Structure 1
Amino acid sequence: MPLLQNPPSRARWLRAAVLVAASTGLVAAALPAPTPLGIGDPLFPHLGNPGYDVLAYELDLTYPGENDRPLAAVTRIEALATEDLGRINLDFTRGKVSAVTVDDLPATYASSGEDLVVTPAVPVETGERVEITVVHTSDPTGPADTGGWVRTGDGLAMANQADAAHRVFPSNDHPSDKADFTFHITVPNGLTAVANGLPTGRENHGATTTWSYRSRHPMATELAQISIGASSVVHRTGPGGLPVRDVVRTADRDLLEPWLRKTPGQLEWMERQVGPYPFETYGVVIADADTGFELETQTLSLFERRLFTEPAYPEWYVDSIMVHELAHQWFGDSVTPRTWSDLWLNEGHASWYEALYAEEKAGKSLERRMRAAYTASDAWRADGGPPAAPEPPSSGHKISIFRPVVYDGSALVLYALRQEIGTDAFRRLERRWVADHRDATATTADFTALASEIAGKDLTAFFRAWLYAEKTPPMPGHPDWRSGPVDTVRSAPKPA
């Protein structure tokens, strides 16, 4: 038999299979009732889904002009099957699904828990690429404290950490499955839409405009960002010609400029610490909303407006919080935790560089801050678990994993490590970490192995004590430091 010059697409093969099955009276084996799945993350066991690796998302959203009405949406997912799939589970809730196709063939679907369970016309085999298209709505009116869409004074923004991207769009909503993203956001004329990555086009349709963006680096779902509002996009240049763009309410453009112009200098400072910025652009979106936190969404960090307008916040403090979210672009965004128990690698590093910046630029002693953290450390561990084995989130409050122990409690681990291996080795470790794992996911075990390699000694016991023990170990170089009684220190969660 001669080889086909133009092999049919998989969709055409599937259509042929369906027709053959229908004509011969074949009946597929009955599948069990749809059920929510997960990949067994210790903190979010039902998050993510087995059997496939997402390669790319394409989100097409239409904003109706008011942020108390659902957006019309189409989500396209390109994935690679890692096992045979009679069904495909997607994380999705808080939206209505009207149609699903798998490789252009209509598929059946049902909701189960916070999963959308899709049954393709023909099962997907291991190693096959598959395209799933979901026509749905995306509802921004759910409880604000559960994440997803953030309703702002002039539109919407996103805050998807830790488990809320699937409250916006169907996805494999776990940081272990990073993918490329493309966005098309249609809004009424007069509004501006901005998303992660760089713009790829803008198309006017009369009364509306579609704004398109694409990421050049893979991204975890929890880091997706879309800002819609009466906004201005302020452009400037960062180190090495890096495009820097900030998104602010047009009415706040002049008010916030003193803060916005700080970013290029902060980028230069971070590059001196750990090496080149890992993405294609950076900037901040300042939302007119009270979220209670700031968030490191990839290439476009989310900030509350009041951080910059509240006189009670001193300038050095605001600067250091800006650096905290910037540091996350290396630690958490480019190098992403493989499980949520590895969160300390994100927040500990961001808090570390926040503190270093405050010491260098404002004279705020790092050692004094670390000694205070050491004093509180036993209480923090009792309150939420040790840094790399945090307790699960409390019921109905998923962001409660963002406890003090993963902030300064984890920066304290890095301080102890620097004391243990020396400043030069520590700096080499930091640079190697972000270079070796760029655009990938990594674990606490990976960090332990690299630190041991660079230090020239096995640090397994050191990390076991500092990351997993109930009590805080003695601080190298500071035998006089003591951690206070458990009931003397209680701190509220601070998601950032």
Structure 2
Amino acid sequence: MPITFPRRRAHRRNAALATAALAALAAAVPPAPPAPQGLGDRLFPHLGNPGYDVAAYDIDLDYHGNRRPLDAVTTIDARATRELNRVNLDFTHGTVRSVTVDGRRAAFTTAGEDLVITPRTPLAAHDRFEITVRHTSDPRGPVKGGWVRTRDGLVMANQANAAHRVFPGNDHPSDKAVFTFHVTAPRELTVVAGGQPRGRTREGDRTTWHYRLRHPMATELAQISIGRSTVVRRRGPGGLPVRDVVPAADRARLAKWLAKTPRQIAWMERRVGRYPFENYGVLIADAATGFELETQTLSLFERGLFTDGAFPAWYIESIMVHELSHQWFGNSVSPHRWSDLWLNEAHATWYEALYADQRGKASLTERMRQAYLLSDVWRADGGPPAAPRAADPGDQIGIFRPVIYDGSALVLYALRQEIGDAAFQRLQRAWVRRHRDGVATTEDFVRLAARIAGRDLTGFLHPWLYGRTTPPMPGHPEWRTAAKRARSESRPAPKPE
């Protein structure tokens, strides 16, 4: 029988006098023209919006093929953190048809990449409210994040600032929320989204698939796959549901790679603790993206990584571990601001390198020595790990430079050298346990490292995180950066006395 999903009703506002006073004040003072807002993130100043926290998204999508926009309804359950005459949502690359706030039609306009909504009555601080936006979601045009067209459908790649090309919302990792997806597509296609399946309903030649994530998620980590796919299911450690999504024609060819995931999850759990979500899987898309992506519970990979024969097996496995480790570092514990991105990529690169090292394929120490050699060059190009330079306009993944990957993993290597391996391992476990399902900052990491080590580490870590040049490596006084090596080799040899 059809499955219905009740939407959460916004709480009734009970501060009638306060609301009336706000309305009177708004009538007396002409409002400022609608304008894009933002949280003031140093790397993406106009991303996100102040004044409210999102608790839940309910997103309904109707897919008609890649040549036309999807019909969509996005419902947002949120709480005002201050008085609001207007509510700004991040949204672009779609047409808005109507907006309601708490079931009442609301005026709306666009400003930059913001959808600016004016409720009929202002929202008081601490009000719970529900916004419903009827809109389209357009997969056409050059790929700049958001929808990615595959040979037979669509997948999502929203990092870093592209979720609002798919649906309206507060598109910043600091405002995590629970997501529910309802996706309708021709019945011959398979739809898979992050989280747990909640059934499907059929009507004629179309099927609606329902999914819900149990844990809060940043908008940039949302994933929906639509295509001629096969879902392969198995069990991971402790009975964890593992489901992989692959092109149906490639199921046999990709089977050996999919079988590796449960063992990789177990390997990570031995190092940082229990897997943090309700399920996991690998989504292999028949598309050329140029990257792999840690979308929550369902990591995105290019088909060619596994089929082109360009890379050795140990390298492919280590990349799988990189994206898996993000489920702890970046997804469960998300960055409070985009400058904290190094915390995601440093840890994922660390476990990628450690996995290869422990299989005897690539030395972790040698990889870090090479990173140290190039570190000053990377810092000059992209800034230090915790204060990276902004990307060029229109290049949302331009912040993902080498200094964020190996250059930041080098910080972890230096920290382990400084505090010892036992303390370092306690820090890793404590970090993901303390901040699970939340957001955290670089300052949080420095404080926790000091608490675990039993001493102040600010003087040690600050140059590693914010310095323009790379500090000396503990335990390896012989290591030199390329710039330092060049200066040393250019000095004249001493003359004999």
The whole-number CA distance in structure 1 between the counterparts of 2:416 and 2:446 is 13
Q: Given residue 46 of structure 2, which amino acid in structure 1 is its aligned partner?
A: H
| 1:262 to 2:264 alignment | no
Contact 1:58–1:183 (CA under 8 A) maintained in structure 2: yes
Alignment match, 2:314: 316
Alignment match, 1:111: 110
Alignment match, 2:120: 121
Alignment match, 1:192: 190
Q: Given residue 387 of structure 1, which amino acid in structure 2 is its aligned partner?
A: P
Alignment match, 1:4: none
Q: CA deviation at 1:312?
A: 1.5
Q: CA deviation at 1:194?
A: 0.7
3-state secondary structure, aligned to 2:179: strand
Q: Given residue 205 of structure 2, which amino acid in structure 1 is its aligned partner?
A: A
The whole-number CA distance in structure 2 between the counterparts of 1:29 and 1:241 is 60
Unaligned 5+ runs, structure 1: 1-7, 489-496
3-state secondary structure, aligned to 2:82: coil
The whole-number CA distance in structure 2 between the counterparts of 1:30 and 1:236 is 60
Q: After superposition, what is the alpha-carbon deviation per residue over 1:406-447, rounded to whole angstroms, capped at 9, x for unaligned?
A: 000000000000000000000000000000000000000000
Alignment match, 1:163: 161
RMSD: 1.8
Contact 1:92–1:169 (CA under 8 A) maintained in structure 2: yes
Q: CA deviation at 1:9?
A: 6.0
The whole-number CA distance in structure 2 between the counterparts of 1:200 and 1:360 is 39
Q: Given residue 183 of structure 1, which amino acid in structure 2 is its aligned partner?
A: F
The whole-number CA distance in structure 2 between the counterparts of 1:177 and 1:9 is 20
Contact 2:53–2:81 (CA under 8 A) maintained in structure 1: yes
3-state secondary structure, aligned to 1:398: coil
The whole-number CA distance in structure 2 between the counterparts of 1:110 and 1:417 is 49
The whole-number CA distance in structure 2 between the counterparts of 1:12 and 1:255 is 60
Q: CA deviation at 1:173?
A: 0.1
Q: After superposition, what is the alpha-carbon deviation per residue over 1:292-350, rounded to whole angstroms, capped at 9, x for unaligned?
A: 00000000000000000011111001000000000000000000000000000000000
The whole-number CA distance in structure 1 between the counterparts of 2:389 and 2:358 is 34
Contact 2:39–2:46 (CA under 8 A) maintained in structure 1: yes
3-state secondary structure, aligned to 1:166: helix
| 1:75 to 2:74 alignment | yes
Matches within 5 A, 1:437-476: 437-476=435-474
Q: Given residue 333 of structure 2, which amino acid in structure 1 is its aligned partner?
A: V
Q: How many residues align?
A: 472
Q: Given residue 439 of structure 1, which amino acid in structure 2 is its aligned partner?
A: D
The whole-number CA distance in structure 1 between the counterparts of 2:11 and 2:74 is 21
Runs of 4+ in structure 1 off by over 4 angstroms are: 11-14, 26-29
The whole-number CA distance in structure 1 between the counterparts of 2:194 and 2:57 is 12
Alignment match, 2:378: 380
Q: After superposition, what is the alpha-carbon deviation per residue over 1:44-68, rounded to whole angstroms, capped at 9, x for unaligned?
A: 000000000000000000001x212
Alignment match, 1:416: 414
The whole-number CA distance in structure 2 between the counterparts of 1:143 and 1:121 is 37
The whole-number CA distance in structure 1 between the counterparts of 2:54 and 2:30 is 27
Alignment match, 1:53: 53
Matches within 5 A, 1:146-295: 146-295=144-293
Match 1:406 to one of 404, 407, 427: 404
Contact 1:11–1:103 (CA under 8 A) maintained in structure 2: no
Unaligned 5+ runs, structure 2: 1-9, 487-497
Q: Given residue 373 of structure 2, which amino acid in structure 1 is its aligned partner?
A: T
Alignment match, 1:44: 44
Q: Specify whether residues 372 and 188 from structure 1 end up closer, same or farther in structure 2 by C-alpha distance, changes over 3 A only.
A: same
Q: After superposition, what is the alpha-carbon deviation per residue over 1:97-123, rounded to whole angstroms, capped at 9, x for unaligned?
A: 000000000000001000000000111
Alignment match, 2:63: 63
Q: CA deviation at 1:201?
A: 1.2
Alignment match, 2:429: 431
Q: After superposition, what is the alpha-carbon deviation per residue over 1:360-417, rounded to whole angstroms, capped at 9, x for unaligned?
A: 1243100000000000000000000000000011122121100000000000000000
Alignment match, 1:140: 139
Q: Please, what TM-score do these two structures have when normalized by structure 1?
A: 0.93
The whole-number CA distance in structure 1 between the counterparts of 2:382 and 2:219 is 25
Contact 1:11–1:104 (CA under 8 A) maintained in structure 2: no
3-state secondary structure, aligned to 1:53: strand
The whole-number CA distance in structure 2 between the counterparts of 1:486 and 1:474 is 11
Q: CA deviation at 1:32?
A: 1.6
3-state secondary structure, aligned to 2:191: strand
Q: CA deviation at 1:175?
A: 0.2
